[in-house]
């Protein structure tokens, strides 16, 4: 599998993401944001960080980088795209995923491991997990409060687009940032564009706190 990892000014999880995909046997390379075309990738990843310093809103400037036009075209043709944290925010700003992000409810930056419940696994990303599985993945964000209107939210549930929710170790909802319905990760209707605030690339080694991220990203290998 060949993975392209987009790097914007301020991106800081690019190397972690490359290491994570190489760990599962993928070939990974960086794509500078000024590029205006994509090569033949099996997956394009928008990693976490602070693109353009998160000025205006997180992801609001990055959406205008030349590479994003190519990412949009790639996604419309059925290519797989994964946005992690700031990458998720960029996908929202680019309208490749529904909804928007606002500041965390407590107005603080949150950085810790947090449990997630798998809501839907009928997609490539989470196919190695079961519905109802509880996993433990780090979160690190100041604007992770996901919002969407009620009609769109209902449509997302109908189309199995709500993938992950924040919970405690027993699977009970536990909301760290105020996101509607405790939503932590979603996809588009076509199930080829994925976004989540947690960082699976930081959960690849038990010695580093947990390896639940391995099953998540290995889904793209199949």
Give the per-residue pLDDT at 15. Answer: 98
Our answer to whether residue 187 is catalytic in this structure is no
Statement: residue 20 has pLDDT above 90: yes
Give the per-residue pLDDT at 75. Answer: 97
Q: If 0-12 CB within 10 Å is exposed, 13-18 middle and 19+ buried, where does residue 147 land?
A: middle
Statement: residue 91 has pLDDT above 90: yes
Mean pLDDT of 27-40: 93
| Residues in Cβ contact with 64 at an 8 Å cutoff, skipping those fewer than 6 apart | none
Q: Which of 33, 93, 143, 201 is catalytic?
A: 201
Mean pLDDT of 69-96: 98
Q: Which of 33, 114, 141, 199 is catalytic?
A: 199
Give the per-residue pLDDT at 121. Answer: 98
Q: CA–CA separation, 175 vs 167, rounded Å?
A: 7
Q: Of the candidates 205, 135, 210, 127, which has an alpha carbon nearest to the alpha carbon of residue 166?
A: 135
Give the per-residue pLDDT at 180. Answer: 98
Our answer to whether residue 201 is catalytic in this structure is yes
Our answer to whether residue 115 is catalytic in this structure is no
Give the per-residue pLDDT at 126. Answer: 98
pLDDT tens for each residue of 110-153: 999 999 999 999 999 999 999 999 999 999 999 999 999 999 99
Statement: residue 23 has pLDDT above 90: yes
Give the per-residue pLDDT at 39. Answer: 80
Give the per-residue pLDDT at 222. Answer: 83
Q: Of the candidates 101, 8, 17, which has an alpha carbon nearest to the alpha carbon of residue 62?
A: 8
Q: Which of 85, 167, 182, 187 is catalytic?
A: 85
| Domains defined along the chain, listed by start | 2-221 (3.40.50.880)
pLDDT tens for each residue of 62-75: 999 999 999 999 99
Assigned token pair, 21: 């995909």
**How would residue 107 be classed by pLDDT, with cut points 50, 70 and 90?**
very high
Statement: residue 44 has pLDDT above 90: yes
Give the per-residue pLDDT at 50. Answer: 96
Statement: residue 37 has pLDDT above 90: no
Statement: residue 218 has pLDDT above 90: yes
Give the per-residue pLDDT at 36. Answer: 87
């Amino acid at each position: 599998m060949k993975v392209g990892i987009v790097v914007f000014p301020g991106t800081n999880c690019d190397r972690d993401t490359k290491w994570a995909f190489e760990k599962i046997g993928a070939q990974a390379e960086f794509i500078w944001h000024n590029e205006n075309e994509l090569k033949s990738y099996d997956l394009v990843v928008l990693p976490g960080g602070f693109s353009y310093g998160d000025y205006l809103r997180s992801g609001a400037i990055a959406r205008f980088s030349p590479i994003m036009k190519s990412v949009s075209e790639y996604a419309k043709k059925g290519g797989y795209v994964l946005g992690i944290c700031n990458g998720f925010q960029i996908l929202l700003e680019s309208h490749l995923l529904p909804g928007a992000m606002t500041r965390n409810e407590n107005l603080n930056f949150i950085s810790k491991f947090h449990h997630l419940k798998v809501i839907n696994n009928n997609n490539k990303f989470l196919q190695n997990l079961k519905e109802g599985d509880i996993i433990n993945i780090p979160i690190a964000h100041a604007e992770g409060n996901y919002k969407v209107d009620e009609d769109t939210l209902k449509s997302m549930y109908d189309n199995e687009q709500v993938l992950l929710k924040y919970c405690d170790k027993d699977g009970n909802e536990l909301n760290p940032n105020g996101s509607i319905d405790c939503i932590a990760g979603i996809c588009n209707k076509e199930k080829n564009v994925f976004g989540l605030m947690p960082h699976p690339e930081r959960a690849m080694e038990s010695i580093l706190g947990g390896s639940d991220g391995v099953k998540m990203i290995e889904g793209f290998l199949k």
